[in-house]
Each structure stands twice: as structure tokens, then as C-alpha cells.
Amino acid sequence: MNRKSLLLALATIVLAGCSSQMTKDECRTVDWRTVGYEDGVAGRPGDQIGAYRRACAEHGVTPDLDAYRLGRADGLREFCQPTNGYRTGASGATYYDVCPPDLAPAFLAQYERGRERWHFESRVTQADAQIASRRAEIDRLEQAIAKSGFDVVSATSTPEQRTEAVIEAKQSAERIGRLREEIVVLQQERARYAEELEAYRARVAATD
């Protein structure tokens, strides 16, 4: 196992223990440089150390801030590469302005490029989710209408229950009508977003 893989493996174990339930022995024996490296390679903000300080304060232990900062600086130099910038932007993740001055420009250029891709893709995804949500509500309302119909014709229903069932069915039908109208609008927007996404992809492909 190379040094980078070993550090990542150790950091995974270390961070699993960095919680409010962290024991005194864990706080005392943890490799703070490794913790810092993992936070750096993940692009986490510098105030992350505060969470560890609060967890260990319960046991009267103070994290080694110098070791943490050294490890984080090493991790950031791996994180702040252009490929990671694009990947971070394309995933919709937040960039916390953590890259050192010599690496920040190239990282940010790719981050913005990835962020643009995320913008176009997320609009299509969100439209799909909104359409699916409304269709699920329509299914639920149709089931409610069916139940109301049963209540109307049931010999065991009282006049009041039948009246209430008719009103509920009417309200559900009206809501279904509005939902179907919203779906039509969302489908139109989704089609436009999809066209814009394809145009973006074509533009990117032409410049690569």
C-alpha cells in the first residue's frame, strides 16, 4: 500500500471516531496530522478542527492544532487540482475557498466549468422529481376518491358521512385537475431544460 492509500485508510478510521462520543483514549492517541490531511484532501473548511476540539474538550484533551494544519496543508495540495475542481463543481458541492494562491486559479476555472454542467443537469433532474411528485399525489388522490365513492354507496354510512365523502371526492378531483395542469407546464419546462443541456454538452464537446 502506498503512502497516500495508507493515509486515506487511516484517516477513514480516525474520522469514524471523531464524534461527540469520542473516547479520551481516542482523543489522546489520534494522529491529528492524518485527520488534517483527510480534511484537506476532501476540501473541508479549516474550522472543521473546531468540531474535534469540542468533542475532545469533554475529556479535557486539546487537539494538536499544528499537526492538524500541517496535514491539512498536504491534503489541500492534492485536493486543489483542476480535475478535482471540475468534479467538485459538477457534483454541486460547495467550494469553501480553501485552495492556496498558487493552485486556486486553475482549480476555480474548472470548478466553475463543472458548476455550469451541474446547473444544466440539476434543472432537468429537479423537473423530473417535481413531475414524479405530482403524479404520486394524483395516484393518492384517485385512491381517496375511490374510497369516498365506497363510503357514498355503503349501507353502513350515515347521511353525514355520505355528504362528507362527496365533498372530499369533489375537492380531490379539483386538486387532480390542478396537478395535471402543473404537470403540463413542468413537462414543457423540462423539455426546454433538456434542450439547453444538450446545447451545453455540444458546446463543451466542441471546445474539448
From the number of C-beta atoms within 10 Å of its C-beta (0-12, 13-18, 19+), residue 130 rates as middle
Average pLDDT, the chain: 88
Ranges 49-58, 119-128, 189-198: which has the least confidence: 49-58
| pLDDT reported for residue 5 | 41
Ranges 93-107, 111-125, 157-171, 184-198: which has the least confidence: 157-171
| pLDDT reported for residue 22 | 67
Give, as one character, the DSSP assignment of residue 6.
H
| pLDDT reported for residue 16 | 39
| pLDDT reported for residue 15 | 41
140 pLDDT above the threshold of 60 = yes
Ranges 9-13, 178-182, 196-200: which has the least confidence: 9-13
Q: CA-CA distance, 119 to 200, in Å (whole number)?
A: 11
171 pLDDT above the threshold of 90 = yes
Domain chopping of the chain, boundaries: 3-112, 116-207
- Mean pLDDT to the nearest integer, 186-201: 96
The residues, ordered by sequence, that sit 6+ positions from 193 with a Cβ below 8 Å of its Cβ are 120, 123, 124, 127
| pLDDT reported for residue 3 | 42
Q: CA-CA distance, 90 to 14, in Å (whole number)?
A: 28
